[in-house]
Amino acid sequence: MEPFLIRALAAGLGLALVSAPLGCFVVWNRMAYFGETIAQASLIGIALGLLLKLDLTLAVLAVAIATAGLLILLGRQKILPLDSILGIVAHAALAIGVIATTLVKGVSVDLMGYLFGDILAVSTDDLWWVYCGGAVVLAALWWIWRPLLALAVHEELAAAEGVNRERTKAIFILLLAITVAVAMKVIGILLIVAFLIMPAAAARVFARTPEQMAILAAVIAAVGVCLGLVLSFKIDVPGGPAIVVVLATAALGAIGFAGGSRQRA
Amino acid sequence: MQRPADRSTELHDCGHDHVPASGHHHHALDYPTMRPFETDALLAARGVTLSRDGRTILDHIDIDIGAGEIVTLIGPNGAGKTTLVRVLLGLMQPDQGEIRRMPGLRIGYAPQRFDLAPSIPMTVERFLEADIRSKTDSIGAALVEVGASRVRHSQLTHLSGGELQRVVLARALMRNPQLLVLDEPVRGVDYAGEAELYTLIGRLRNERGLGVLLVSHDLHVVMAQSDRVICVNRHVCCSGVPETVARSPEYVRLFGPEAARALGLYSHHHDHTHDLAGAPRPASDPAPSQSKAT
């Protein structure tokens, strides 16, 4: 197998393992658009990183965290619902990001590469980021699993049982930001949330416990990465979008299956 | 379990309408000095006051819950009952006042609404698997206790309202609490289920000596089981044993004579001497002979 294909597979599988369980919480906490907003804002991070000659992953991480903070602050106002706030911030961030990348002099910025990822061009350095960042995220998620799940099930009850709400939520948002930052080069800014929620959505139909759902989502994500890369290689289509199409088919197929079996029941 | 000495026969009746007008300080007049904390209470609050957006939600509320005692918090919708519970549980900070919990107090809490997001797959068994993993089948025991063994392997989202209430109660019991806090535990439960649930709560109190704080807007069965009823409408309107409260004009004004008659029907089986037609008495009228309707 070609080395670039092995790197692509390694990056995709590593990301699948991390983003699937995290994506379950994104689904459970109805945070898909929250994640999308953070992801879109990371284009500003890329532009800043290029302008200031910083490490791109770290620059994206910083902007992702700042965006999450901004969203939490804006979520406290009571004039507009949260989805409108997210819509405003997400698209403002994308527009500012696109403008900012045009300000970068000297190098021509591969905007498409950042927006949709270039999994077949993943470097060894990127792999290090995926695996080190991924290990941190998985370890932290393991550590906060119980309180985070308790909050998703019933926030008041969890708090009454002694869960530290603010700290647990802050850690979760930090993990989301790290995942966005390390996934950015592999899957692309605009497809990260698909990678988070599609495997979880497909797994929901067949799981009976939260843990089953997380594990099943990881398996579905891994299979999706393999099938997507095969598709990409055989018929020469971009890798990230191919994976997302496979995962979307799995998610919608599973939901259709569940709807069909409910009607028969 | 010996019931604690009844210290709940006082009747505080405000004796006038409580328009939520700003700046009325009658409680400062009622209690020139704040009642001291009772040393044997599991949970006690003094002078709890809370405002949000310029609206007073809780106004100088005092409450005590002792071991083996069932305290029922009643009040119309919007009276601040759930807010008070959240303050007592430590989920919200009051603007003024003090909460005291017995050191190391374990609280089992069953919230009013339990709407699990359908996106979370969750069996009853997994839901009950809290921090405790003992070798004995504590999940099975808790489900037997609340009479919900049948649903052990069901999905939480497939349960009926009554089954869900029992499962949430089982989870609260699995923490081996000294105090149970049940916010509207009979919401969405039919009459037979309601009576059964109250029998269970009474048994838990008798067998384990639990303190119980019940929140309700619906009265007749609750009141019969309670050691003390606290009628709340932003402030404590009246408190005492069930029949004292039911006779209080403040209570009749809040709930209407219908509610007083409903209680009358129930306690009729226990006590034939009371006229509960709901005729208001002056606030200064001393409470007549009180009997527990248990």
pLDDT digits (tens, 9 = 90+) for B250-267: 777 777 666 655 554 333
CA distance B276 to B126: 48
Amino acid at B50: L
Does residue B269 have a pLDDT over 60? no
Nearest CA in chain B to A213: B121
CA distance B203 to B199: 6
Does residue A107 have a pLDDT over 70? no
ipTM confidence score:
0.88
Looking at per-residue pLDDT, the higher value among B278 and B123 belongs to B123
User: Residue B2: how many CB atoms within 10 A of its CB?
Assistant: 7
Check CB contact of B117 with chain A, cutoff 8 Å: yes
Give the length of chain B: 294
Q: How confident is the model at residue A36 (pLDDT cuts 50, 70, 90)?
A: very high
Kindly determine whether residue A210 and residue B130, on different chains, have CB atoms separated by under 8 Å.
Answer: no
Amino acid at B169: L
Kindly determine whether residue A209 and residue B91, on different chains, have CB atoms separated by under 8 Å.
Answer: no
Taking only Cα atoms into account, the Rg of chain A, rounded to an integer number of angstroms, comes to 18
pLDDT of residue A140: 97
Average pLDDT of span B84-103: 90
Q: How confident is the model at residue B222 (pLDDT cuts 50, 70, 90)?
A: low
pLDDT of residue A162: 87
**Composition of chain B by helix, strand, coil, percent to 5:** 35, 20, 45
Q: State whether the Cα torsion B47-B52-B54-B56 is positive or negative.
A: negative
Could you report the per-residue pLDDT of A202-236, keeping only the tens digit for each? 999 999 999 999 999 999 999 999 999 999 989 98
DSSP alpha helices (H): ranges in B95-241? 124-128, 138-146, 161-174, 191-208, 220-225
Average pLDDT of span A158-174: 92
Could you report the per-residue pLDDT of B175-205, keeping only the tens digit for each? 889 999 998 877 767 777 777 888 888 888 8
Kindly determine whether residue A160 and residue B91, on different chains, have CB atoms separated by under 8 Å.
Answer: yes
Question: What residues of A are in contact with residue B119 (Cβ under 8 Å)?
Answer: 27-28, 204
Check CB contact of B119 with chain A, cutoff 8 Å: yes
Average pLDDT of span B114-125: 90
Work out how many CB contacts closer than 8 A connect A with B. 52
